[in-house]
């Protein structure tokens, strides 16, 4: 059984990560939590019955013989705690984005490799049941021709992000696009715009991959509300996903529709099981146990973040 520690007890950590890991109780022992906010720390300590709590992650690393650490925090504060965990020889799970910029992501890559540990990033859209089903079906029908990802919200006015909405949030569907396309980008044409906003809130990109697949990204924060969708096309098949709840499949002029819960054979109300969070954490634990690099380890994700930079218009040094 893996011994796990947690750093961070904010909304995302408590809403998705603590409960998902807790469901892996046969494989993971939740040993300790660390959080500067003592009120939040008390909440998770009581709910998950942590035997030990800390307000300094270094003391946690020094005091306990942990196998894995879940470090769930904003990119503004992520780098140093993440490096401390990796340098302590702990396999690490972090939320997206992996650092405040590609240079910080590269530091995580190099440190993970130097210490022979994994650093998995929470790009859960890859693990959504509808995504996995689309990739499976299209792979059976020959090469990918087209992948499309769309992630819209309404964010107007002042900038709410420490970095940019592309780096912080739209990165989800940039990574998803690269995963579904199955190749690495060779050509990127991108546009960045601002609509009723002090910062960029509208991104479009056309990407050509080295396997001849084409990708299109839409990230619009000047829209009317939250929409997360994708498409994946192969030879004689097209899959249209509302993530995580539905996949619509057209194959040889025949249409079928499945709910995300139907794909995985779980209860419709058990959204963590089919939206990607639980599957993602199960994958991380299995990879650590089997000594296999996780699908969204920083060794792979660094390439998605480089694509984010290209869409943002950031030129390499």
- Say whether pLDDT at 198 is over 90: no
* Residue 251 bridge partners (DSSP): 237, 254
Tell me what pLDDT residue 154 has.
94
- Interval 12-19 mean pLDDT: 95
For residue range 122-150, list pLDDT tens digits in order: 999 999 999 999 999 999 988 999 999 99
Q: Residue 13 in contact with residue 22, Cβ under 8 Å?
A: no
Tell me what pLDDT residue 317 has.
55
Q: How confident is the model at residue 44 (pLDDT cuts 50, 70, 90)?
A: very high
- Cβ atoms within 10 A of the Cβ of 97, count? 29
- Interval 176-199 mean pLDDT: 96
Task: Give the length of the chain.
Answer: 317
Contacts (Cβ under 8 Å, ≥6 apart) of 310: 185, 188, 190, 205
- Say whether pLDDT at 288 is over 90: yes
For residue range 64-91, list pLDDT tens digits in order: 999 999 999 999 999 999 999 999 999 9
- Cβ atoms within 10 A of the Cβ of 235, count? 11
Tell me what pLDDT residue 157 has.
83
Tell me what pLDDT residue 214 has.
98
Tell me what pLDDT residue 314 has.
83
- Say whether pLDDT at 162 is over 90: no
Q: Which of 166, 146, 121, 114 is nearest to 240 (CA)?
A: 146
Please state, for a pLDDT cut of 70, what percent of the chain lies above it: 98
Q: How confident is the model at residue 158 (pLDDT cuts 50, 70, 90)?
A: confident
Arithmetic mean of pLDDT over the chain: 96
- Residue 65: what are its φ and ψ, rounded to 5°? -95, 80
How far apart are the C-alpha atoms of 282 and 290, rounded to whole Å?
12
- Interval 93-121 mean pLDDT: 98
For residue range 46-63, list pLDDT tens digits in order: 999 999 999 999 999 999
For the record, the structure tokens of 287 come out as 């990879």
Q: How confident is the model at residue 6 (pLDDT cuts 50, 70, 90)?
A: very high
Q: How confident is the model at residue 159 (pLDDT cuts 50, 70, 90)?
A: low
Number of H helices, E strands in the chain: 13, 14
- Interval 190-197 mean pLDDT: 95
Tell me what pLDDT residue 103 has.
97
Q: Is the pTM of this model over 0.75?
A: yes
């Amino acid at each position: 059984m893996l011994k796990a520690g947690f750093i961070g007890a904010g909304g995302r950590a408590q809403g998705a990560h603590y409960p998902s890991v807790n469901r892996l109780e046969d494989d993971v022992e939740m040993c300790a939590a660390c959080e500067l906010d003592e009120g939040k720390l008390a909440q998770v300590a009581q709910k998950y019955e942590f035997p030990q709590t800390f307000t300094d992650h270094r003391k946690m690393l020094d005091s306990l013989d942990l196998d894995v650490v879940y470090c769930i925090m904003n990119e503004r504060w992520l780098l140093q705690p993440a490096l401390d965990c990796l340098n302590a020889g702990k396999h690490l799970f972090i939320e997206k984005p992996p650092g405040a910029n590609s240079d910080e992501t590269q530091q995580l890559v190099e440190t993970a490799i130097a210490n022979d540990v994994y650093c998995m990033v929470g790009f859960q859209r890859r693990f959504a049941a509808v995504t996995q089903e689309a990739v499976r079906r299209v792979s059976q029908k020959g090469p990918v021709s087209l992948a499309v990802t769309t992630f819209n919200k309404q964010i107007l006015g002042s900038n709410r992000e420490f970095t940019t909405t592309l780096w912080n949030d739209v990165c989800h569907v940039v990574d998803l696009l690269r995963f579904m396309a199955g190749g690495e980008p060779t050509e990127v044409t991108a546009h960045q715009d601002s609509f009723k906003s002090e910062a960029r809130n509208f991104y479009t990109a056309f990407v050509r991959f080295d396997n001849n697949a084409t990708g299109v990204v839409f990230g619009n924060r000047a829209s009317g509300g939250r929409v997360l969708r994708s498409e994946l096309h192969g030879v004689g098949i097209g899959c249209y996903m509302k993530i995580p709840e539905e996949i619509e499949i057209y194959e040889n002029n025949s249409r079928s529709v499945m709910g995300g819960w139907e794909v995985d054979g779980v209860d419709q109300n058990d959204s963590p099981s089919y939206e990607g969070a639980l599957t993602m954490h199960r994958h991380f634990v299995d990879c650590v146990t089997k000594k296999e690099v996780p699908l969204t380890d920083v060794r792979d994700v660094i390439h998605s973040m480089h694509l984010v930079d290209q869409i943002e218009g950031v030129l390499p040094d």
